[in-house]
Amino acid sequence: MDVGIAAAQSTATAAAATGAANSGLISTLQSQVVKLEGENAMLTSDITEMKAEQTTIKVDAAKVATDLKKFEIGQGITDAGLQGQITKLQTEKADKETTYTKLEVDAYFVAQTDTNTNVSNNLLQLGSSKANNTDVYTITEIDNKLILKADKTYVDTGFNIYGNQLTTLKTRADNIEILNSTQTSQITALQTKDNQFTDVINTILSVNSTQSTDITGLKTRCTNIETLNTSQSNAITSLSTDNANNKSNIASLQTDNATNKSNIATLQTDNTANKNSITVLLTDNTKQNQDILNLQTNDTNQNQVLQIHTANFLDLGDRCKAIEDVDATQQIILDIHTGNFGTINQNFTDIWGRLDTIEAVDFSNVTKRLDYLDQNVGDMMPTVDFNNKWRVNEAVPKIAALETDNTNNKTNLTSLTTRANEQDQTNLTFGGKITTLQTDNTKNKQDIFNVNTNITNINTTLTSYNTRITNLESFLFNFQTRGPGWYKIGDIVTCYGNAQIGGGGQIYANFAVAMVDVFDYIATVRRGANSGGGCDVLYVEAELTRLKITHDFATNAYVDWINWHATGRWK
């Protein structure tokens, strides 16, 4: 019975050690939580930075829209005369009833200070078609007749050019809004991942709280076990006083004790190896976490075992009292008592296994208890009634119990090794999850970098658009061809123009679109076989397979300019 009590005491001591180890585990888990919170804070900071950049994009997009609006209503046009005329067209063209007197028209052209001979002749022709200053011109007449600064170019031509450019710029602004929407989706996805990080941290905090509660409960149960153990010791001491016949079994016990010592030495060797394995487990936070989860799983069983202990000890007290009061029933009661202590010993063994005690059994204490029994058992035994010979037989089951305990110790050590391997696998799984989280965090940072790159590209594109608008304004000259618009490669374009300034009759040249220079937004054409002396054509906007005519130079006076800006001049 002393061995059973010793095992119970060792179990209680080991349970206390487990509580201390679990306290260390909680400290490690709390450190992990702090680390995850730090990473989460960094991710939140990155997302905040992205939101700020997204706001900047929206501001830039709004600025583009504002600039387009200004462009649309005639702002930013450098030619003062053209600006004034387009402003009139934008506000009054729909109203075909609006008229202008000859005096008003003449005053407008005088204000242009245009000295071109052709313009002067046309003004004279326009003026002679009206009887006096009271005659009026309709908007349609002005659209068809009025001539601006350069040769034979109408006001609506410039208006159409700007209209087409505005349409293109609006499309690009829409594309910027689409890109901004995509970036918003990316930030939403990152926020979702950030929430997932928060969920993981909250889960760990919840588990940590549960573990703290469980460990407190375990410590309480350990205290209860120690209290029960004291009661057991007192009860067994009382029974041992009556067990004088154990003297005759000392020799046998000593022989068995030698065997037990040998077995204990083997177990101690095994226990040393097990301690080494458990030392590795102690340094692995994930393995400790698994141990605590297992304790939670077995909590119900432990409570049931403790209830059995309580019932058994209460029953033990009643039976001991009955032994004192009724001698006639002592043998039956002691038989029952012996069986109950066998159950109690097994229960303590079960608790010891479930608690995953790092040192399940303190074998050195077992050895010390056996040595003490060897040296003092004679003195412990008082004079007894030798008529109670049946008590001698109690030594046999005690020895068997020792052997069973030794076997159980080996089994439990094997179980610990198996569980250590399982915890290693669990640790690998958790390590994979951490790696996945780190990978996600790296991808988030790459996504943020990509958004920043997109913003830089947008700014670059906007700068390019502004440059193109400036170039288009400077390239805005007058033309007279088959008509403004888009032409694909191979189309024939007829250009009418004078051979030279002030020259004679009208001549023409057929041009076939031959090449498009997308990068310089300038294209060249190939002359037709029956071309005249001049009529070189310049294109100032192009796509991959078509281009748009915006101006034709009708005289050789522009040759040097064309050779400088175009990609070549065909003859």
Which of the residue ranges 151-165, 264-278, 317-331 has the most confident prediction, judged by mean pLDDT? 264-278
Q: Domains in the chain: how many in total?
A: 2
Q: Which two tokens stand for residue 563?
A: 């050779």
CA angle 393, 397, 399 (to 5 degrees): 110
Please indicate, yes or no, if residue 327 is contained in any of the structural domains. Answer: no
Smallest CA-to-CA distance from 41 within 441, 377, 337, 494 is with 441
Please indicate, yes or no, if residue 125 is contained in any of the structural domains. Answer: yes
Q: What is the pLDDT of residues 167-204, one digit of tens each?
A: 565 566 566 666 666 666 766 666 666 666 666 666 66
Round to whole Å and give the CA distance between 488 and 14.
91
User: Is the pLDDT confidence value at 453 over 70?
Assistant: yes
Domain end among 148, 169, 192 = 148
H helix or E strand, kind and range, residue 436: helix 395-475
Please indicate, yes or no, if residue 194 is contained in any of the structural domains. Answer: no
Task: State the residue for tokens 């060249």.
Answer: 524
Three-state DSSP at 137 gives: strand
**Rounded to the nearest 5°, which phi and psi values hold at 100?**
-135, 140
Instruction: Give the CA-trace dihedral at 9, 11, 16, 20, to 10 degrees.
Output: 140
Round to whole Å and give the CA distance between 537 and 550.
9
- 3-state SS track over 444-489: HHHHHHHHHHHHHHHHHHHHHHHHHHHHHHHHCCCCCCCCCEEEEC
Question: Which band of pLDDT confidence, cut at 50, 70 and 90, is reported for residue 460?
Answer: confident
User: Is the pLDDT confidence value at 220 over 60?
Assistant: yes
Please indicate, yes or no, if residue 11 is contained in any of the structural domains. Answer: no
Please indicate, yes or no, if residue 263 is contained in any of the structural domains. Answer: no
Round to whole Å and give the CA distance between 28 and 531.
90
Please indicate, yes or no, if residue 192 is contained in any of the structural domains. Answer: no
Round to whole Å and give the CA distance between 141 and 130.
12
Smallest CA-to-CA distance from 40 within 204, 196, 206, 203 is with 196
| Other beta carbons less than 10 A from residue 144's beta carbon | 12
pTM score over 0.75: no
User: Is the pLDDT confidence value at 350 over 70?
Assistant: no
Question: Which band of pLDDT confidence, cut at 50, 70 and 90, is reported for residue 357?
Answer: very low
Residue 281 and residue 423 in contact, taking contact as beta carbons nearer than 8 Å: yes
Residue 478 and residue 148 in contact, taking contact as beta carbons nearer than 8 Å: yes
Which pLDDT value is given to residue 148? 35
Which pLDDT value is given to residue 446? 72
Please indicate, yes or no, if residue 104 is contained in any of the structural domains. Answer: yes
**pLDDT exceeding 70 applies to what percent of the chain?**
1
Q: Which two tokens stand for residue 220?
A: 């309480």
Beta bridge mates, 546? 488
- 3-state SS track over 383-409: CCCCCCHHHHHHHHHHHHHHHHHHHHH
Q: What is the pLDDT of residues 480-536, one digit of tens each?
A: 333 344 444 444 444 333 333 333 333 333 333 333 333 333 333 333 333 333 334
Domain end among 100, 123, 148 = 148
Domain that includes residue 87, residue range: 80-148
Domain end among 129, 148, 167 = 148
Residue 527 and residue 514 in contact, taking contact as beta carbons nearer than 8 Å: no
Residue 86 and residue 95 in contact, taking contact as beta carbons nearer than 8 Å: no
Provide the 8-state DSSP code for 531: -
User: Is the pLDDT confidence value at 310 over 50?
Assistant: yes
**Rounded to the nearest 5°, which phi and psi values hold at 486?**
-90, 140
Q: CB neighbours of 438 closer than 8 A, spacing ≥ 6?
A: none
Please indicate, yes or no, if residue 536 is contained in any of the structural domains. Answer: yes
